[in-house]
């Protein structure tokens, strides 16, 4: 059976929702896989949110391994971040109980080491189309607005030693020029012409209506993209080394958003 590893910092409700949703799709057979382990970069008692994540793992009967990144050699982390990253993730690798076919970084808040990139087939989520804007989700959206983009998307990409540069495995795309966006673009264009982007960043920031709408449309596609990506890997539709990557999952995800069903 296809085996998954799951890496998380367990820092918020979104991390729990991701895990619960994928677990449920596995339990009902939609994703033909086994979740072999969950690794958490915090220890029990380190924070209230991650304790809720640990409780969820326990309730789901998942094998959970942890190593607090914050408490691991803090002096070295300050003095030499790369050396710290290498030592921390070497210890993480030593703790993992078994080999898996795929590892998902799901709300994992640390940059992984080069060694871990070589040792584990890892996927991460990035809120843009392949070849699209790089950076945080906030930076991506501001770049889209600045470029007057017509579309955007979300992708799952392979994790490599160069941050956010791994090739895409799957993606979905959606228009940000539909009727529901039209008035938002018109209002934003007026502000851009009058004040410029930097002024909008300072006065409205993430509360700018077009910014919020783009974020909302991206977020609601992120979890379905993860689910359909794992299903495609587990069923052999795509393979880690497959040359036909990336796989466009847009139609499946839009159908799920329309119907609410997984199919």
Q: What is the CATH number of the domain that holds 21?
A: 3.40.50.170
Number of structural domains in the chain: 2
Q: What is the mean pLDDT of residues 120-133?
A: 94
Together in a domain, 194 and 235 = yes
Cα–Cα distance between 197 and 94 in angstroms, integer?
47
Is residue 197 within 8 A of residue 143, CB to CB? The reply is: no
Q: Are residues 247 and 133 in the same domain?
A: yes
pLDDT at 19 over 80: yes
Q: Name the residue range of residue 166's domain.
A: 127-154+162-263
pLDDT digits (tens, 9 = 90+) for 150-166: 999 999 999 988 777 78
Instruction: Please provide the DSSP assignment of 112-178 as one string.
Output: PPHHHHHHS-EEEEESS-TTS--SSHHHHHHHHHHTT-SEEEEEEEE--SSTT-SPEEEEEEEES-S
Give the β-pairing of 122-126 and 151-158: antiparallel
The answer to whether the peptide bond before residue 246 is cis (omega within 30 degrees of 0) is yes
Cα→Cα distances 239→88, 101, 108, 130, Å: 29, 10, 23, 18
Q: Is the pLDDT of residue 88 over 60?
A: yes
Domain check: are 87 and 142 in the same one? no
Query: Same domain for 42 and 18?
Result: yes
Q: Are residues 2 and 115 in the same domain?
A: yes
Residues 167 and 263 in one domain: yes
CA–CA separation, 39 and 137 (whole Å): 24
pTM over 0.85: yes
Are 132 and 173 in the same domain? yes
My answer on whether 189 and 101 are in the same domain is no
């Amino acid at each position: 059976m296809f085996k998954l590893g799951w890496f998380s910092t367990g820092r918020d409700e979104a991390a729990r929702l991701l895990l619960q949703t994928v677990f449920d799709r596995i339990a009902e057979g939609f994703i033909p896989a086994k979740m072999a382990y969950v690794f958490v970069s915090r220890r029990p008692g380190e924070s209230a949110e991650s304790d809720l994540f640990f409780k969820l793992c326990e309730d789901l009967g998942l094998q959970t391994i942890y190593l607090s990144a914050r408490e691991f050699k803090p002096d070295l982390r300050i003095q030499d971040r790369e050396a710290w990253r290498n030592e921390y993730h070497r210890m993480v690798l030593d703790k993992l109980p078994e080999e898996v076919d795929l590892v998902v970084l799901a709300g994992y808040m640390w940059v992984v080491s080069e060694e871990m990139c070589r040792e584990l087939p890892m996927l991460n989520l990035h809120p843009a189309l392949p070849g699209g804007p790089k950076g945080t989700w906030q930076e991506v959206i501001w770049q889209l607005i600045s470029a007057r983009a017509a579309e955007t998307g979300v992708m799952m990409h392979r994790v490599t030693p160069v941050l956010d540069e791994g090739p895409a495995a799957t993606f979905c795309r959606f228009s940000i020029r539909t009727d529901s966006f039209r008035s938002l673009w018109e209002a934003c264009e007026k502000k851009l012409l009058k004040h410029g982007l930097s002024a909008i960043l300072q006065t409205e920031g993430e509360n700018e209506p077009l910014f919020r709408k783009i974020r909302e449309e991206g977020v609601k596609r992120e979890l379905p993209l993860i689910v359909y990506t794992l299903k495609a890997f587990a069923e052999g539709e795509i393979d880690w080394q497959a040359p036909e990557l990336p796989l466009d999952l847009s139609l499946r995800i839009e159908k799920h958003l329309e119907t609410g069903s997984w199919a």
